[in-house]
Amino acid sequence: MDATGINHGFLLTGGSFNTIDYPGAIETRGRGINNNGQIVGRYTDGTGKVHGFLLAGGRFSTIDFPGAIYTEVSEINDSGEMVGLYTDAGGKTHGFVPE
């Protein structure tokens, strides 16, 4: 956590650290990377809601399971298929995998 209270994610490659921060997030956590350099994880927005993300080609995309109050993407394979978990509106946690 830095002085502003923001937790940063990072990628260590070739001996260099590179910060990974979802725009506007108060926390970013990388969870997985594939051989194509696509990174997945989760971020917390300013309201405290947790979303999954994909970072590919320098661009972030939000990954939210439909109807979920919490989504985290844990892994991504070289075909771009993602797995993770989500919490539904009733507070029950589920895993998700590609169909």
Q: Is residue 4 part of a domain?
A: no
Give the integer Cα–Cα distance in Å for 12 and 28. 15
Tokens of 61: 């995309």
In the three-class reduction of DSSP (H, G, I as helix; E, B as strand; rest coil), residue 97 is classed as: coil
Q: Is residue 2 part of a domain?
A: no
pLDDT digit string (tens) for the chain, length 99 residues = 555 667 888 888 889 998 999 999 999 999 999 999 999 999 999 999 999 999 999 999 999 999 999 999 999 999 999 999 999 999 999 999 877
- Kindly report the CATH number assigned to the domain that includes residue 79: 2.40.10
Reported as half-sphere exposure (CB side, CA atoms, 13 A), residue 8 has a value of 12
pTM for this model (two decimals): 0.89
Q: Is residue 15 part of a domain?
A: yes
**Closest to 8 in 3D by CA, of 16, 18, 20:** 20
Q: Is residue 3 part of a domain?
A: no
Instruction: Look up the domain containing 51 and give its range.
Output: 9-96
